[in-house]
Structure 1
Amino acid sequence: MDSQKEKFGFWSIVLLGINAIVGTGIFLLPNKAYSIIGSASLGVLLFDALLAGCIALCFAEVAGFFSRNGGPYLYAKHALGDFWGFEVGVLKWIVIMIAWAAMSVGFATALGAAFPALGGDTNKDIIATIIIVLLTVLNILGVNVSKILNNLITVSKLVPLFVFIAVGLFFLNGSNFTPLFPNDTYVEGSFAQAAVLLFFAYTGFEAIAVSAEDMDNPKRNLPRAIITVMIIVSVLYMAVLAVSIGVLGPELANTKAPVQDAFNAIIGPVGLYFVLAGTLLSMGGINFAQAYFAPRVATALAEDGMLPAALAKRNKNNIPYVAAIITALGSLALAWSGSFTTLAAISAVSRFTQYLPTCIAVIIFRRKWAHKERSYTIPGGYTIPIIAIATSLWILAQAQVHQLLWGLGGCIVIIPLYFLYLRKKRAGLIKEHDDFN
């Protein structure tokens, strides 16, 4: 097979990045951000874009060393040792379960906002349960719609947003952007609170760099693609938030589905249902993607000896059915535990268990592997990795206690599993992989 045909070109990388980032967050978070910090949420969104861009560049540099799939846990293992590699690896699975819980609840939230009869906590739990169970069953049965689904996700999530922006620009009310803060007063800590929440909208950018081995000329294309993706997504997000504020003004804080309600205010129910259709298709597609990929993360870790071997069991369709069931149960428990806003914030916080070790790895690898050829080096010396580390720690320091406990508590909970892994490794029961060739 011609290997060149298997590689992602520049624009394919860009589309991959956009598809990985744009999801439930931008459809459902503008109202919450506005209620916290008002029109200044536009500045918070820009801050998150810069932070996400710095972290993404760190992924781009360290990904160039490895030929094996694995992403953050490979970086942590070789930079910080087996213990942190194990922690990051297992937490990667937990992070995906948290994200799936947030996305399933996001779907239920969007549906309930459009159809009040389907609203409420009980209906939210029922709808999230149906989504997770149904998609898990389809996954176990081996239903393969990934190619069609990927195209559907991309179109369904972008078209409504672009139409919303294009039409909404003609209906902006400049007075809705003042005052800058609610009640014209800045509340201490509101910037950090909004930053934690809105960062969820940018999560997923790591998929760009983690896929570096499948890209054509990553040294040239990867950094350009990351910058391009972050610019496109940031402009898109800023425009969506600006139109939402400009159209709804203070009412934005009271809506459950900001993009839907803003378009409804512009052109009536047609606008609401147009955005709703795109929202649900987009969220449904992302939920399916989580159902497909999450169990495979657990299976890969089980095959590496980090999780119980049972999670690597496959059925006649070669589907990791045990991992799929356990993943669904974990996601269900999380989905029942809170609202979309709460889960989104927890998901954003938990992602830093993947991001921080990767940023630290950049600094360590530059010293440890100074002699090794690298496909890409972040310009500016250590400036960007240090900024990424410092701002990440600042955001974590500002997060609420329950967000930290849910988002980072897994680091402590999984420690007993590490000793089981260590015992198997010392007994020679762990298959060693070549991570570089």
Structure 2
Amino acid sequence: MVDMKKKLGLFSIVLLGINAIIGSGIFLLPNKAMALMGTASLAVFIFNMFVVMSIGLCFAEAATYFNKSGGPYVYAKEAYGDFIGFEVGFIKWAICIIAWATMAVAFATALGQIVPAAQDPMIQNIVVVCILVGLGIVNIIGVNVSKILNNVVTVSKLVPMIIFISLGIFFIKPSNYSPVFIETTGNFGKTSLLLFYAFTGFENIAVAAEDMENPQKDLPKATVIVMIIVSLFYFFIQFVSIGILGPELAHIPAPIQTAMGMILGPFGSSLVAAGTLVSIGGINIANSFVTPRCGVALADDGLLPSFIGKRSKRDTPTYAILISVGIAIPVALSGSFATLAAISVVSRFAQYIPTCLSVLVFRKRNQPTEFDFKIPFGPVIPIFAITVSFWMLSQATLEQLLWGLAGLLIAVPFYFIMKKNRQDQIKI
């Protein structure tokens, strides 16, 4: 029997969610938003807060019906059947592996900015492999080690942001908030899609449900808490960045680091640089924990070979971890990451839209549980989330849509191969 002390409680789930969302982007994002929308970028953050919260609430309600791993895959499968579920689950595992590989490279790159010797390509590759293999070993050792490491790193990455916001408000110049609108204010849709990417990752919270003490009770609470915390951090970081740097923010590649340098001198810049490194490291830890469990959920339902879902005596999915690491290493070393953002943005909606729709299905079909959580205002919020999701997809370029569609198409032959294997086994 698995020791419940080694499972994730509410506090650890919240930190896992924050860690899975907040990465290097928030340290670099303010300048891009300022360049596209000026001070009006604050309105885009507020809009995205409502969008993400509405989608997050759908995930929170869907989580009350199930206590097994898989997240979006489980919701899609239970609502619409094996094929749609497999499409969602397969693309999620693939994207998680690619995203983890990319974050490993991002960590090595960020390390090179602090330690010049680490800029050497050979050393960067060694760092990348060490990160992927090292975190794979940590996850094989057990959930408790991953939990402790995740909690420490998450708290550490939040410290520089809390200091920046707390001190930065005293250095704000009100004149920097005008004019509110600039010539490129018409880029609202483009900016929304860009900033939305910074919020992605919350869907990973539910993937590791079986490693939580009480997922049906804690997941809804954790999802709401995580989205509120992340949304407030993002808004106030943008608000303070504009207040300190003004129009120049649009042209500064590392805005928070620059602003902290103005507040605390070289120490402030170094603090943010270290925070960026810890932040990217945190994303790696969260990805290393969530990624293998995407494959486990598919294997448990017979949609992938059963050995992938097999757990060790420590209750960790050893084979899924080894496969994830084994694929992530060549992806990371290939250096072909130019289209990652395009694939990721579009494919994420392939998880969000089915989950929001599934809530409406579960309400009519499933019996309420003792941890029943219902989104207020009936179907209004799920319908709003679905509508805005399609609108955001319409803001993507044709290339982004094609890459996202390609990911879904790749999953089709795998599904039918596994389906045929299952049918052959039944005949035997």
TM-score where L is the length of structure 2: 0.85
Question: Structure 2 vs 1, CA of residues 3 and 263 (structure 1 numbering), >3 Å: closer, same or farther?
Answer: same
Q: For residue 49 of structure 2, what is the aligned residue in structure 1?
A: 49
Matches within 5 A, 1:399-410: 399-410=396-407
TM-score where L is the length of structure 1: 0.83
1: CA distance between counterparts of 2:107 and 2:309? 30
Using the TM superposition, give the Cα deviation of residue 324 of structure 1 relative to its aligned residue in structure 2, in angstroms: 1.9
Matched residue type, 1:405: L
Q: For residue 398 of structure 1, what is the aligned residue in structure 2?
A: 395
Find the partner of 1:201 among 198, 203, 215.
198
Find the partner of 1:250 among 247, 251, 274.
247
Q: For residue 268 of structure 2, what is the aligned residue in structure 1?
A: 271
Matched residue type, 1:273: S
Counterpart check, 1:324 vs 2:325: yes
Question: Structure 2 vs 1, CA of residues 217 and 136 (structure 1 numbering), >3 Å: closer, same or farther?
Answer: closer
For each residue in 1:57-84, what CA deviation from the matched residue of structure 2 results, as whole angstroms up to 9, or x when unmatched? 1112222222321211111112112111
Matches within 5 A, 1:52-67: 52-67=52-67
Do 2:59 and 2:223's aligned partners in 1 also have CA atoms closer than 8 Å? no
Do 1:360 and 1:385's aligned partners in 2 also have CA atoms closer than 8 Å? yes
Question: Structure 2 vs 1, CA of residues 350 and 37 (structure 1 numbering), >3 Å: closer, same or farther?
Answer: same
Q: Which runs of 5+ in 1 are unaligned?
A: 431-437
Q: For residue 24 of structure 2, what is the aligned residue in structure 1?
A: 24
2: CA distance between counterparts of 1:313 and 1:332? 28
Matched residue type, 2:378: G
Do 2:70 and 2:209's aligned partners in 1 also have CA atoms closer than 8 Å? no
Moved more, 7-16 or 416-425: 7-16
Moved more, 140-149 or 87-96: 140-149
RMSD (CA atoms): 3.4
Using the TM superposition, give the Cα deviation of residue 210 of structure 1 relative to its aligned residue in structure 2, in angstroms: 5.0
Matched residue type, 2:35: S
Question: Structure 2 vs 1, CA of residues 343 and 165 (structure 1 numbering), >3 Å: closer, same or farther?
Answer: farther
2: CA distance between counterparts of 1:233 and 1:140? 27
1: CA distance between counterparts of 2:21 and 2:257? 20
Q: For residue 433 of structure 1, what is the aligned residue in structure 2?
A: none
Question: Structure 2 vs 1, CA of residues 272 and 392 (structure 1 numbering), >3 Å: closer, same or farther?
Answer: same
Do 2:21 and 2:200's aligned partners in 1 also have CA atoms closer than 8 Å? yes
Using the TM superposition, give the Cα deviation of residue 349 of structure 1 relative to its aligned residue in structure 2, in angstroms: 2.7
Do 2:61 and 2:359's aligned partners in 1 also have CA atoms closer than 8 Å? yes
Using the TM superposition, give the Cα deviation of residue 117 of structure 1 relative to its aligned residue in structure 2, in angstroms: 9.2
2: CA distance between counterparts of 1:299 and 1:206? 16
Could you say what secondary structure the match of 1:416 adopts?
Answer: helix
Do 2:156 and 2:278's aligned partners in 1 also have CA atoms closer than 8 Å? yes
Using the TM superposition, give the Cα deviation of residue 195 of structure 1 relative to its aligned residue in structure 2, in angstroms: 1.2
1: CA distance between counterparts of 2:124 and 2:179? 38
Using the TM superposition, give the Cα deviation of residue 364 of structure 1 relative to its aligned residue in structure 2, in angstroms: 1.7
Do 1:25 and 1:198's aligned partners in 2 also have CA atoms closer than 8 Å? no
Matched residue type, 2:183: T
Matched residue type, 1:324: V
Question: Structure 2 vs 1, CA of residues 97 and 250 (structure 1 numbering), >3 Å: closer, same or farther?
Answer: farther
Using the TM superposition, give the Cα deviation of residue 35 of structure 1 relative to its aligned residue in structure 2, in angstroms: 1.4
Q: For residue 137 of structure 1, what is the aligned residue in structure 2?
A: 133
For each residue in 1:17-39, what CA deviation from the matched residue of structure 2 results, as whole angstroms up to 9, or x when unmatched? 33332222212211111111111
* Aligned positions, number: 418
2: CA distance between counterparts of 1:408 and 1:118? 37
Q: For residue 435 of structure 1, what is the aligned residue in structure 2?
A: none
Using the TM superposition, give the Cα deviation of residue 280 of structure 1 relative to its aligned residue in structure 2, in angstroms: 0.2
Using the TM superposition, give the Cα deviation of residue 199 of structure 1 relative to its aligned residue in structure 2, in angstroms: 1.2
For each residue in 1:383-416, what CA deviation from the matched residue of structure 2 results, as whole angstroms up to 9, or x when unmatched? 1110110001100111122222233420112211
Question: Structure 2 vs 1, CA of residues 373 and 165 (structure 1 numbering), >3 Å: closer, same or farther?
Answer: closer
Matched residue type, 2:236: A
Using the TM superposition, give the Cα deviation of residue 50 of structure 1 relative to its aligned residue in structure 2, in angstroms: 1.1
Question: Structure 2 vs 1, CA of residues 327 and 173 (structure 1 numbering), >3 Å: closer, same or farther?
Answer: same
Could you say what secondary structure the match of 2:180 adopts?
Answer: coil
2: CA distance between counterparts of 1:2 and 1:94? 29
For each residue in 1:257-303, what CA deviation from the matched residue of structure 2 results, as whole angstroms up to 9, or x when unmatched? 22112111222221111111111012113223323442443355346
Do 2:17 and 2:223's aligned partners in 1 also have CA atoms closer than 8 Å? yes
Matched residue type, 2:328: T
Using the TM superposition, give the Cα deviation of residue 179 of structure 1 relative to its aligned residue in structure 2, in angstroms: 1.9
Using the TM superposition, give the Cα deviation of residue 112 of structure 1 relative to its aligned residue in structure 2, in angstroms: 6.1
Q: Which runs of 5+ in 2 are unaligned?
A: none
Counterpart check, 1:89 vs 2:85: no
Question: Structure 2 vs 1, CA of residues 227 and 309 (structure 1 numbering), >3 Å: closer, same or farther?
Answer: closer
Question: Structure 2 vs 1, CA of residues 403 and 166 (structure 1 numbering), >3 Å: closer, same or farther?
Answer: same
Matched residue type, 2:390: L
Counterpart check, 1:185 vs 2:183: yes
For each residue in 1:361-399, what CA deviation from the matched residue of structure 2 results, as whole angstroms up to 9, or x when unmatched? 111222333687772221211111101100011001111
1: CA distance between counterparts of 2:209 and 2:223? 11
Moved more, 147-156 or 25-34: 147-156
1: CA distance between counterparts of 2:259 and 2:128? 29
Using the TM superposition, give the Cα deviation of residue 310 of structure 1 relative to its aligned residue in structure 2, in angstroms: 8.0
2: CA distance between counterparts of 1:149 and 1:279? 17
Q: For residue 171 of structure 1, what is the aligned residue in structure 2?
A: 171
Using the TM superposition, give the Cα deviation of residue 87 of structure 1 relative to its aligned residue in structure 2, in angstroms: 0.4
Question: Structure 2 vs 1, CA of residues 10 and 254 (structure 1 numbering), >3 Å: closer, same or farther?
Answer: same
Could you say what secondary structure the match of 1:29 adopts?
Answer: helix
Could you say what secondary structure the match of 1:336 adopts?
Answer: coil
Find the partner of 1:260 among 237, 250, 257.
257
2: CA distance between counterparts of 1:117 and 1:2? 44
2: CA distance between counterparts of 1:114 and 1:267? 18
